[in-house]
Amino acid sequence: MLALLWAGTTGVTAPIVADALRAESTPIVRDTGLGEPEPWLRIEAEGRDLLALGEAPDSAARDATLTRLSAIPGLRRLSDRTGLIGSASPFVWTATRVSADRIEIGGNRPAEIGAAALAARLSPALPPDATLRDRARAARGGPAGFALAAAYLVERLGGFAPGAVATLSDTTLSINGEALDSAAYEAARSTPPEGFALGSLAVLPPRVDDFRFVVERRPDGGLTLGGNIVSEAARAETLKLAGIVVANAATGAGEPATVADALRTARGLDDTVDPAALAGAALRLAGLIREGTVRFERGSLSVSGTALDEEAVGEAEAALRDGRPAGVSAGSVSLGVRPVSPYAIRIRRESGTVTVTGYLPDRAAREALNAALRPRFLREAIVDRSRISSGAPPQLVAALTATIGPLSALASGEVSTTDRTMQLSGESLYAESARRAGEDLRRAMPPAWESTVSITTRDAAPAYDTPTCARLFSEKLAGHTLRFAPGSSELRPNFYPVLDALADLAKACRAERVEVTGHLDPPGAPVPKPAILPEAKAEKDKADKAKADKAQKPGKAADKKPGSAPTEKTPAETEAAPDLATARAAAIVDYLLKAGVASDRALAAPGSAPLSDRQGIGLALRS
């Protein structure tokens, strides 16, 4: 009975005693603030015990304060957790969301900012109904703008799940935890206060119930990416792929199209779906539409809008049927088709490649264009990215074929067509070659076609006197024998460095001319058929057709007597065998002319040079 009475009495009197101890310690706490922003001493009372907290400016002040506290009447035990203000390097302060309604701060607090003052600065940034518990210790060495940076971090913690930690280390801010929504995830990456930088952001994105990925093809040819993405690394890779899709579809007209990023990082994609494969499949579908949307939602991938061309509808259906990633189901293909307008195609010559993009009317046109390109660009790879679509202007293939010769005379450049307008642009090594390419293009255009030429040239070659030309000519040809393959008049790969050097020299030797003599083959070599370029073949086919039409006119057959046998041609009437030496000399001269040598300074000499172990094409410099 006495024990129960004592316990009840203690339960009643303990709060009274604690209040009395707090009242006795209040003047002592107040005195520690004399000359300071606020008192450095904090007191917690529990029954007859006191806990002393805070950082004293020096040991004398701390000892004096603890002595006064120890002398309070009725005090049973004084626990000392005070310290001295020192310098902290690095200066580290943390804020932890320990629960939905409480944030606890620790580490170092600038000595010049009191605990109460800091709490007042941080309170507006706290989540609703949340309280702040300050476990930080005062220290010197805090960065300028500390309170503003601390409030920035506390405000962002409001969008994170319990367990998240925000850290200030000198002027670097970082956050580690799980974002509750997309807004909180993006806020964690927002620009920090001036003078501070973002460091490590180990932030888990929010989880969504319906993970979506959307690619919108805009009317200007650009792309807008929306929906969700699994990580920042995946975002960067997806934006890179989207840029390639936009670049491949570029026509070269107007402002370049762009990729807009409206993606939100999130978790929730089914584990069976590869994020990179999903983005790649969606972007490939986006490359098949001029305008519209590719959408992944509820596990299904679909496409709608206007197809790139007639081929694209079937390609989209095949992609969804056979090429979708694992874990993704095939959605709908709802694509319309409209004629291509403007009808554009581009042939671009760069280092080592000739690339064809745009539209052609059918596969026969594609084959004809490639057949015309190959003999002209023997050293380059032909990369054909053309597509098939109706709506081509009349004589498109003839117009394109006519541009191949002028394009081959340039160091780099491109031919682009828009409906019936042809443009040749690029760079030539020589002014003469640039002038000739423009003239050849205008002359070769079909009726009703227009052409424009924009060719720049490199610096003019220096001028040499006759003795210097003779010396350099001998030096450049020394050790180089230009010998064609038996039965061929096609230039060999080892010719090009020698002929390029010879062309440069011929440009600089303005009082001399290069004389070229072809060589024959040894006895028994096969008689070649002369190479026919596409332009010449077209003219020959036209002449053959006209001859055939003329032969079929009424009355012609009556001139022959019935039963008469065809008249055999005499040897004199047969077509003369091709002059191989002349053809070879002409091939060398043609190359020099295309390299910019004036037509009166590169000539094929009559006759031929004998073939021996040491001799091939004859080259001479004449004054």
pLDDT digits (tens, 9 = 90+) for 48-90: 999 998 888 888 888 999 999 999 998 999 999 988 888 999 9
The 3-state secondary structure of 464-527, one letter per residue:
CCHHHHHHHHHHHHCCCCCCCCCCCCCCCCCHHHHHHHHHHHHHHCCCCEEEEEEECCCCCCCC
pLDDT value at position 14?
Answer: 67
- Across the range 185-211, mean pLDDT stands at 93
* 9 Cβ contact partners less than 8 Å away, ≥ 6 residues apart: none
Q: How far is CA 399 from CA 122, 365, 442, 454, in A?
A: 73, 12, 10, 18
Max Cα–Cα distance, the chain, nearest Å? 155
Dihedral through CA 561, CA 567, CA 572, CA 573, nearest 10? 70
Task: Summarize pLDDT for 119-163 with one digit per residue, the tens.
Answer: 999 999 999 889 999 989 999 999 999 999 999 999 999 999 999
Reply yes or no on whether the pLDDT at 552 is more than 80. Answer: no
Alpha-carbon dihedral 422, 251, 367, 531, rounded to 10 degrees: 50
Higher pLDDT, 279 or 454: 279
φ and ψ at 46, to 5 degrees? -140, 110
Can you list the domains of the chain with their CATH numbers? Answer: 11-84 (3.30.1340.30), 87-204 (3.40.1520.20), 213-336 (3.40.1520.20), 344-457 (3.40.1520.20), 466-530+578-622 (3.30.1330.60)
| SS3 of residue 138 by DSSP | strand
Tens of pLDDT, residue by residue over 189-198, are 999 999 999 9
Question: Sign of the CA dihedral 598, 601, 602, 606?
Answer: positive
∠ CA 24-29-32, rounded to 5°? 140
Structure tokens at 17: 């005693």
Whether 212 has a pLDDT exceeding 60, the answer reads yes
CA dist list (Å): 424 to 347, 361, 428, 456, 530: 10, 21, 12, 11, 29
Residue with more model confidence, 431 or 142 = 142
pLDDT in tens, 477-524: 888 888 888 888 889 888 888 898 898 888 888 888 999 988 888 776
Type of residue at 218: R
How far, CA to CA in Å, does 462 sit from each of 10, 434, 499, 507, 508?
Answer: 110, 18, 18, 8, 5
Distance, in Å, from the CA atom of 428 to the CA atom of 37, rounded to the nearest integer, reads 77
Please, where are the H alpha helices in 331-459? 363-376, 396-408, 431-444
What DSSP element (H or E) covers 14? Answer: helix 2-31
- Are 68 and 28 contacting, i.e. CB atoms less than 8 angstroms apart? yes
Question: Residue 433: what residue type?
Answer: S
pLDDT at residue 4, as a whole number? 41
The region of weakest confidence among 111-125, 241-255, 401-415 is 241-255
Dihedral sign of CA atoms 435, 436, 438, 442 in order: positive
> For 476-491, b where at least 16 C-beta lie within 10 A, e where not — what string?
bbeebebbbeeebbeb
Taking CA atoms, 188 is separated from 7, 40, 234, 257, in Å, by 52, 33, 18, 30
Amino acid type, 410: L
| Cα radius of gyration (the chain) | 43
CA separation for the pair 108, 105 (Å, rounded): 9
Helix or strand (DSSP H, E) at 12: helix 2-31
- Of the chain, the percentage scoring pLDDT greater than 70 comes to 85
Does the pLDDT value for residue 7 go beyond 70? no
Helix locations, 288-362, DSSP H: 310-322
| DSSP letter (8 states) at residue 124 | G
For residue 356, count other CB atoms closer than 10 A to its CB.
20
pLDDT of residue 570: 39
Q: In the predicted model, what is the mean pLDDT of residues 333-338? A: 93
- What pTM value is reported for the model? 0.55
What pLDDT does 276 receive?
A: 96
What span, in angstroms and rounded, lies between the C-alpha atoms of 214 and 296? 6
- What are 256-265's pLDDT values in tens digits? 889 999 999 9
Cα-Cα-Cα-Cα dihedral sign, residues 122, 128, 134, 135 = negative
pLDDT (average), residues 279-296: 96
Output b/e per residue, 323-335; b: 16+ Cβ within 10 A.
Answer: ebbeebeebebeb
d(CA 61, CA 54): 12
> HSE on the CB side for 476, CA within 13 Å?
21
**What mean pLDDT value characterizes the chain?**
85
